[in-house]
A and B are shown apart, each in its own frame.
Chain A
Amino acid sequence: MTSGEGPRDELGGGRTPDPADPADPADPPDPDRDRKKARRTAASVGAAVAAGAAIVRRVSRARGPVREAADPPDDQETAATPPYLGSGDVEVLTGPSPVPERRAAGWITVALAAAVVAGIAVLIVYALGGQPQIEGVLLAILLLGIGFAFIFWGKFLFAPEIVTEPRGEHRSSPAAVAGAEEAMAEDAEGITRRRFLVRMMVTAFGALGLAAIFPIRSLGPSPGNSLFRTPWRRGSLVVDETGSAVTVNTLPVGGVLTVFPAGHVGANDAQAILVRVIDAALQLPAGRDAWAPLGNVCYSKLCTHAGCPVGLYLAGAAQLQCPCHYSAFDVLRGAVPVFGPATTPLPQLPLYVDSSGYLRARGDFTAPVGPGFWNRNKGPSGSGAST
């Protein structure tokens, strides 16, 4: 654990004895053997260098390749041995810290001192009422100080070490597998023979599962016909966001206004957008001619794509645009989609003018409002399939 001012002498000497590769007594002593080991070690240092251990690289630059302590070989580059360890070999490469211990300790002291000062400062700032920017910076100094102290400590006050060792098998030995199977099979007859009971048990678990599903039903009401209707009724007074009634002349030509039925201001599915256009320019679908008195045409404000409010109006093109995904609808032609991902026109709200000049609805929208769902065109009876 020491790391000196100078390099350690036992460089590379950490290679542990190799029990898995004993010298075969039948073989004569191999004079190449030591050289072989050294070669392996040296090669691994090369790899260690590449693995990012700048420390070792520094050592190997300064002192040449790391060498076996006992018997430094002379010609490593020509050693004709594979550069990797034998199966089961363990290798430990170690070297000195690249930074003198005293200097590293100095850095750590500075980092920790900064942390302590910042910690005290953050308390003072807090006591004085707090200030987000200063608190953030002081917290950062506190945490970074501790962080760098740890990193310096780890990198420079411990001897760098690169260990290579066998991974071991992922799977168990065949004997262990057989043993587990045997243990499992013990008294298995007590299960396999009881077919009826097993089936009953499965059924009981099925019943438990069903019973567990039912509480989910409590999470929300049935969709019923709530997706098919809004608070708009025949005779509903058209009001703006503040609740004031809207007359046929509230809007100038080219103007837009978000409107609700009186008594339901802010209701999500009732939101509608009233647009005033030149009466003669309207080309509404057949049967809707009387629905836009004096060019006051009104559509659901919920985009038929993903349900965002259709909040942009391009007066020049007479298009309503949704700022979420930029579907565009042609106000003059019944709000058919003319661009973007929406496929369905905005439902229209049929209007009439009452005797006092106020705008009122003739009834609900022409279609369910908002984005599509599977039985939108079939009506709420279709939802019976999923009840």
Chain B
Amino acid sequence: MIERVFRWFDQRLGAASFARKSLRKIFPDHWSFMLGEIALYSFVILVVTGVFLTFFYVPDSAVVTYHGPYRPLDGQSMSRAYESVLRLSFEVRSGLVFRQIHHWAALVMVGAVSIHAARVFFTGAFRKPRELNWVLGVLLLILTLAIGFAGYSLPDDLLSGTGLRIAYSVVLSIPLIGTWMAFLLFGGEYPSPDLIPRLFVLHVMILPALIAVTIGAHLAILWRQKHTNFPEKTLRPDHIRGERLWPRYAFKSIGFLFAIWGILALFGGLVQINPIWLYGPYEPHIVSQAAQPDWYMGWLEGLLRLFPNWQITIGGYEIPELFFPSVLIPGLFFTILAFWPWIERRLTGDGEFHDLLQYPRDLPWRTALGASMLAFFVLLSMAGGDDVLASDVGVSIEAFVRVFRAVVIVVPGLVFLVTYLVARGLRDSGREPVKRSPINQVKRRSDGGFETEEEEGGGFPSTEERMRAAVAADGAADASGSGEEPKVGV
């Protein structure tokens, strides 16, 4: 039966050779290579649960009076959007569990994309020839943040409404074009009745389509270029090592997909997330205290809270204080991130092809930079909850902010220094990154042969370099044989 279906397609599409190649494709194995999979599978479950939610959500800011099973809000006036989310949560069967799975999956997806990006950064996987996929990955990170923000703004509750208000102010702060941009994007002065329908179209159509297309390109390029390998003593730089796609790897990966969905379902059922009925409907003159956005917006919130009150006035025209922490710094960050492969290449002068990854120790300054940026973001996210933290610690918010302004600069600096020294020390110690292979280091003998060397001997250079050198030496020694000189740069 399967054979007949297969034949039918092959006679029309000639799919057999592609299918054969694909099924035999090799996928290197390492736990950190699963992070991208988590992001992808979260996206799939987001689409599935999201489609269900669209059947009940009403993108309308018209004011209605609520009468429903949630008594505390009975008789309250609210937007139809907010009311529809209440109905979805309390009256639609399976509505709440799907909504909560959707929200948890969103949080997990942003996390997975971020950590995946960090993995690629720390292992140098973005180096030639994989710069394109790095740029697409940064784009995916930005799109994921945007779709997350648009999504949690849809219920039109007090917390998200305040977030939208800040987003409007951020756009407004851009010099020269800010006022027009804000009015065009938000449909007029905040709060405009056009805003909720626009966010809805963005969240369920434009951004998902962009993400799906970008993921498609990201995977197609991965397929074409093949996955990177961590260096192993026995792996040539021009070889790939792993499992074939079919059947073992595919079974494990499909299993992983269902397992992630299962964990998300567990969270969606048991762990409350975004209980908008507790926040209440949005009203522009009401605000809640100790309000924090979803975790991935925390660093921006922290930046806004900590950044000093600088305002520049040029000839009577001003650059508002909000512009620097909310537009300039994030803009610079994502620009540098997107161009990082070229920036690093400029700094290291390394223009070679790389199919083998680096261990974080192999390039200490990059690792130190990445670690200090991570520390910066964690500290900023903490500052985003400075009111809660200050009251927990028992200090005034003023004192907390003053201290934290120094902390977010000094601590990442220290993290840079310590990471750099540790990474350099590890690199120079010659110890293997992980106890990998029982085979000892290979040394070339003067007569052209090779001999194994005990572990204590000599330095252990960056593994890919060592591998390249050894292979080149081997190639020279074997050249009399097949004459196949391995094409590897040094």
Contact = CB atoms under 8 A, between A and B. Distances in A.
Nearest to A241: B285
Given A134-B269, A165-B26, A308-B287, A146 B188 contact: no
Interface in A102-161: 126, 129-130, 132-137, 139-155, 158, 160-161
Contact of A311 (B241, B270, B287): B287
B30 to A, nearest CB: 7
A147 B172 contact: no
A378 B169 contact: no
A133 B268 CA distance: 8
B254 interface: yes
Nearest to A265: B285
Contact of B169 (A145, A167, A258, A307): A307
How large, as a class, is the contact surface on chain B? 35 or more
B192 interface: yes
Interface string A27-38: 100000000000
A13 to B, nearest CB: 17
Interface of A: prevailing SS? loop
B430 interface: no
Contacts of B239: 84-85, 89, 164-167
B4 interface: no
A222 B183 contact: yes
B189 interface: yes
Contacts of A158: 247-248, 251
A148 B286 CA distance: 48
A306 to B, nearest CB: 4
A316 interface: no
Interface stretch (B9-17, B257-265, B334-342, B370-378): B257-265
A205 interface: no
B6 interface: no
Given A43-B437, A43-B439, A311-B289, A143 B265 contact: yes
A342 B308 CA distance: 8
Nearest to A217: B184
B185 A155 contact: no
A372 B266 contact: no
A9 B120 CA distance: 40
A343 interface: yes
Contact of A227 (B189, B249, B398): B189
Most buried by A among B265, B291, B435: B265
Contact of A308 (B162, B290, B487): B162
Interface string B67-100: 0000000000000000000000000011011001
Nearest to B475: A87
Given A77-B452, A151-B251, A268-B285, A47 B235 contact: yes
Interface stretch (B106-114, B138-146, B443-451): B443-451
Contacts of A311: 286-287, 289
Contact of A136 (B252, B270, B287): B270
5 contacts: A88-B484, A143-B259, A151-B251, A155-B251, A341-B307
Interface of B: 26, 28-31, 93-94, 96-97, 100-101, 129, 162, 165-166, 168-170, 172-180, 182-192, 194, 225-226, 232-236, 238-244, 247-252, 254-263, 265-270, 283-291, 301, 304-311, 313, 316-322, 325-326, 353, 355, 386-387, 397-398, 401, 434-439, 442, 445, 449-452, 467, 470-471, 474-475, 478, 480-482, 484-487
